[in-house]
Amino acid sequence: MRAAQWLHDAHVRRARFTPLPEDLAPRSSLEAYAIQDEFVALRAQKLGAIAGYKIALSTPAMRQFVGVDAPQAGALLEGVLRPSPATVRAADYVHLIVEFEIGVKISSDLPAADAPFFRERVVQSVGAVMAALELADDRDADYAELSRHPLHLIADNSWNEGAVLGAERTDWQTIDLAAVRGIATVNGRKIGEGRGADALGHPLDAVAWMADHLASLGRGLLRGDVVITGSLVASHAAKPGDMIEFRLEGLGNAELRVE
C-alpha cells in the first residue's frame, strides 16, 4: 500500500515521473500489478470504477525500447472515458500524449475459468468495435531511465488518463480487423498510419491476451468492459490548439480537441 500511496501522491503533486524508491520498487510483474491494483483503487475514489483496460507496449519495437518481453496492461476508469468528439485541457496534465487505437466492447463475460482464450472464443463475446484515442500522461518521463525500471510503468497504471471512444460499430464482423487501415491526423495533417495487425497480430488476439492476463490474476473481462488494444501509430505529444483525429476505414473515427 505504501508504494501505491507514493504514486498517488506524486500524481497529486504533478511530479515528474521517476522510479519508485528502492524500498517500494516492485521486484516482479506480479508485485507491479499488485501495486497497480492498489493505485487504481485510490484513483477510483475520484475517477470512478474500472470500465475497461488498455494494452501498452503492443509492438515489438516498443517492448525492446522499454526493455520488456511482453505487453503491459492497465485499467480504464469510467470517469475519464469520453465519447467522441471530446475536449480536454493540456494544463490538466503534466505532459499529455495521445495514442491511436482500435477499441473493443465486450458483450458477454470472458471469465477466468474459461482461460486460456483464443480469437475464436473472443469473437463470441465482442459486441462492438470503435476507433479510440488513448489519453496518457508520461509526466515528462526520462525514457532512458524507464528502460532500466520497466516494472514501474505497470505500477503507474501504464500512465493511462482515459480514452476518447468513437461511435460503436456493431456490424464489425464485416470488417477484416487485421487489415483495417487507421490514419492519424493532427490539425488536418497526417502524422502516421497503421493496420489492425499492428495490435499483437490482430486486435482480437490482443483482447485474448488481456483476458488471459486478467485470468492469471483471478479476474475476467466483463460485459460492458472496453479494451483499447494498442496504438497503431506512434504517440503524439499533444499541445494546446491541436485537433487530433483517428480514422479507421470502415469503422469510423474518434476526435479530440486540446485547449
* pLDDT tens, residue by residue, 239-248: 999 999 999 9
Distance between CA 68 and CA 85 in Å, rounded? Answer: 34
* pLDDT tens, residue by residue, 187-221: 999 999 999 999 899 999 999 999 999 999 999 99
Give the DSSP per-residue string, 174-231: GS-TTT-EEEEEETTEEEEEEEGGGTTTSHHHHHHHHHHHHHHTT--B-TT-EEE---
* pLDDT tens, residue by residue, 150-173: 899 999 999 999 999 999 999 999
Residue 58: pLDDT band (50, 70, 90) is confident
* pLDDT tens, residue by residue, 126-136: 999 999 999 99
- Domain 2-258: give its CATH architecture: Alpha-Beta Complex (3.90)
Distance between CA 132 and CA 83 in Å, rounded? Answer: 9
Backbone phi, psi, residue 101, to 5°: -135, 165
Domain boundaries, the chain: 2-258
